[in-house]
Amino acid sequence: MWVDGKIEMTGAKGGVGKGAYSLESIIAGAVEGGADELAGAIYEEMETIKGKSQDIVPKRFGILEASADAVGVNLVQSGLAGFVAIGYGGAASAYSVIQHQTPPPGEGKEGEKTFRHAAGRTWKYLERPVMEAIEGMDERLGARVAARMKVR
């Protein structure tokens, strides 16, 4: 969901796609003391998504690209909810929304404002990596949690 220049993904009932429901089952199955490992695994996943978005975010002066952030993993054990926000903002908040939501020529509706971007850079620069990451997210999170639990 796009909120204040950030895409928010929540686990449990407010989830995005099938990855969120799998995230709920991972949280429910986490052993006592595993919350830190799960939080770390979720944060790593979001950093990966952020990195992929950095490859396609429009870049003219670098302000938008530099404003990327993956913030906070908060697991509420009693409600089995996980939350992380990744986005672009700060000084570039308004600009990030316009760039994210404005299509290039030929992809929008007739008469709609469009933006041309440098080669390899595009609109929906955060939504696309998030949607691509949903496939297999439960397996990746499970593997990351398991690896972190073994280290402990």
pLDDT at 82: 57
pLDDT at 151: 62
Q: What is the pLDDT along the chain (152 residues), one digit of tens a residue?
A: 334 443 344 433 333 333 343 444 555 555 445 677 777 888 888 889 999 999 999 988 888 888 888 766 655 554 445 566 788 877 788 888 888 889 988 888 888 889 888 889 999 998 999 899 988 888 888 888 888 877 65
Q: Where are the beta strands (DSSP E) in the chain?
A: 2-3, 6-10, 68-76, 81-88
Distance CA 74, CA 144 (A): 17
Predicted confidence at residue 5, as pLDDT, reads: 40
Say how many C-beta atoms besides its own lie within 10 A of residue 65's C-beta.
18
Position 6 scores a pLDDT of 39
Beta carbons of 148 and 41 less than 8 angstroms apart: yes
- Extract the tokens encoding 114: 């469009």
Q: Where are the domains of the chain?
A: 2-151
The per-residue pLDDT for 7 is 38
Between CA 34 and CA 7, with CA 3 as vertex, the angle to 5 degrees is: 50
